[in-house]
Amino acid sequence: MTEASVSARIVAEAVARGLTVATAESLTAGRVAAAIADTPGASAVLRGGVVSYASEVKASLLGVSTSLLARVGSVHPDVAERMAVGARTACGADVAVSTTGVAGPEAHDGQSVGTVYIGWSTSRGTGQQRLSLAGDRESIRAQATDAALQALLRHLVS
């Protein structure tokens, strides 16, 4: 599925279920929210998104614990999960998805290039998944965007 078709399904499924969505993005820097917003009807379901490139923003806007960030760094499954919870809370959404990872060209926080975590938060719980992506910086960011959109769709329909 293309990014546009996944985004269209997200909007359609959210409208059909009366649900709203939000995003918290680090390495994708707003691309997930932008993909959804590019879809006609998105204003009915997209509550908002937070681009939290800096750890301080993850803490101040999304409520990620500074002690967690100091202990594990910004590229970690627990951070991805907390980012999603923070976006869901801050935006008053039913479902939220987050991205954090290393697009390159160098490793970061002890994580290799291509390491990405997608987090999610719904009324049924939270979770995350780890991805090991290959390619250059742009390719990794595009793949992470696609994976986050797919995760959001899965959690809307499950």
pLDDT, tens only, 27-55: 999 999 999 999 999 999 999 999 999 99
Give how far Cα 33 sits from Cα of 21, 51, 66, 110, 111, Å.
9, 9, 25, 28, 25
- pTM score, two decimals? 0.97
DSSP secondary structure of 95-147: EEEEEEE--SSS-BTTB-TTEEEEEEEETTEEEEEEEE--S-HHHHHHHHHHH
CATH code for the domain in which residue 123 is found: 3.90.950.20
Quick check: 88 and 49 in contact, CB under 8 A?
A: no
* Residue 70 structural domain: 3-157
Domain count, the chain: 1
pLDDT, tens only, 72-120: 999 999 999 999 999 999 999 999 999 999 999 999 989 999 999 999 9
